[in-house]
Amino acid sequence: MHSTAAADAFDHWLRTDFVALNTRLEEAGPGSDRLEQRLAQEGAVLVRRIAEEEGRAVLAADRDTRYELLGSVGMYLAACRRHEVDAPQGPQSAAWPLATALGASLGVAPRFVFAHQAFCNRAVGDRIRTFTSFDDERTFIVHNALSGLAYRRAATALGGVGPLGASSPMTEYLLREALAGLDDVMDFGTTLSENLDVDRFFHHIRPYFKSHRVGAAEYRGANAGDFAAVNAVDVLLGLCSPHDPFYQAVLAEKQPYLPPEDQPALRSAVRAEPLLDVFLREAERQAVTPQLRENARLLLALCTRHGAVSSFHHHRLVVPFLQKPASLLPEPEDLTSSGPPLDMVVAQLARLVDLRTARPRAGTFGARDRLDRLRTAAGL
């Protein structure tokens, strides 16, 4: 990693005093003006120093260094938002120009996103970067990140099938690998749901992931869906279609929140022929060999697994950790990370679950017919 003195000082602060201040603020509750001001002022001084002394050098640095720094500046801005020390002329506005320049240089939204915590969260002395020192926050970040890596493993395996075809023994290996990846996503999600404390998450962790302003624009919050692999699995399997207007809107909305390396990955995945179509063509056109039958069985198992994981996310994570505690609040607040009201977000997530579980919906894209046809054609 390329680093500079002012950027190193900021990184050190983020790993020490910043964490201590956020943790004390969570424990003290609202109204600790002195601590809130300290957080906003200390961060502003350090970020201004980077911009003034090293602005040119950081923008000339390699992509990963710039992305990591954007994550750092973004965590500071997200903490100011969480503690509501974020008036338009407040100290945190000193960080807007650097965040904006870094975002523009990378072609991404100028804020911290899921990938900063999951895929470029450098551990130092056994500690990853977090907002607070609560074990629940670490558990949340680690399990989100592990799930993201496991989705990536599944997507990479599925991406290798195209040139091999439906009846290859190498395809069997790749489909088993993808299935193992999705099994891991399920296991990590299960561990998370069993170990995360609902109240701690809802009141002291989730608020750091809200929308906030950078310069003239408001950018929606961070969520564990902002990486391309989950969508690559959707479209490579054939459960979601890049030609379906509903799904197109999902992809377009998330584009600026993806890490830079995921943008080409998503573009190539949406151009690939869905495996469900490849398998169906082969199974309906010729006699089904034992290898094709085994591969078709694995593909169908993968589709079922992908649906089950998505359904788990909805019913065992979104509902108990967000929707239910939100329903107990006296007044609605901006609860989702994406900005729209919670009901709308939950409805969109439910529609994604329907697509991934191939639940028929009149007049819209769905894979139920093709899944049934493949099962019949392959004699399963």
Q: How far is the CB of 144 from ligand HEM (least distance, A)?
A: 5
Q: How far is the CB of 269 from ligand HEM (least distance, A)?
A: 14
Which residues in the 152-211 window bind ligand HEM by CB under 6 A?
Answer: 189, 192, 196, 201
DSSP per-residue codes, 240-257: S-TTSHHHHHHHHHHGGG
Q: How far is the CB of 353 from ligand HEM (least distance, A)?
A: 7
Residue 270 lies near ligand HEM (rule: CB under 6 A): no
Q: How far is the CB of 153 from ligand HEM (least distance, A)?
A: 12
Residue 352 lies near ligand HEM (rule: CB under 6 A): yes
Please say which residue, 105 or 241, places its beta carbon nearer to ligand HEM.
Answer: 241
* The binder of ligand HEM chosen from 43, 103, 225, 307 (CB under 6 A): 225
Q: If you compute the radius of gyration of the chain from its CA atoms, what whole number of angstroms results?
A: 22
* The binder of ligand HEM chosen from 81, 305, 313, 370 (CB under 6 A): 313
Residue 109 near residue 136 (C-beta atoms within 8 A):
no
Residue 359 near residue 367 (C-beta atoms within 8 A):
no
Residue 357 lies near ligand HEM (rule: CB under 6 A): no
Tokens (6 digits) for 223: 């969520």
Which residues in the 322-351 window bind ligand HEM by CB under 6 A?
Answer: 322, 336-338, 345, 349
Q: Exposed, middle or buried, 129 (CB in 10 Å: 0-12/13-18/19+)? A: buried
Q: How many residues bind ligand HEM (CB under 6 A)?
A: 25
Please say which residue, 33 or 343, places its beta carbon nearer to ligand HEM.
Answer: 343
Please say which residue, 41 or 263, places its beta carbon nearer to ligand HEM.
Answer: 263
Tokens (6 digits) for 61: 């640095």
Q: How far is the CB of 64 from ligand HEM (least distance, A)?
A: 22
Residue 259 lies near ligand HEM (rule: CB under 6 A): no
Residue 224 lies near ligand HEM (rule: CB under 6 A): yes
Tokens (6 digits) for 207: 């608020």
Q: Cβ atoms within 10 A of the Cβ of 119, count?
A: 18
CB-based contacts of 149-153 (< 8 A; 24+ apart in sequence):
149/118, 149/119, 150/181, 150/182, 150/184, 150/185, 150/188, 151/181, 151/182, 151/185, 151/227, 151/229, 151/230, 151/233, 152/181, 152/227, 152/229, 153/177, 153/178, 153/180, 153/181, 153/184
Which residues in the 134-163 window bind ligand HEM by CB under 6 A?
Answer: 143-144, 147-148, 151
Residue 116 near residue 67 (C-beta atoms within 8 A):
yes
Cα–Cα dist 363/359, whole Å? 12
Which residues in the 96-115 window bind ligand HEM by CB under 6 A?
Answer: none
The site for ligand HEM (CB under 6 A) is made up of: 143-144, 147-148, 151, 189, 192, 196, 201, 223-225, 230, 310, 313, 317-318, 321-322, 336-338, 345, 349, 352
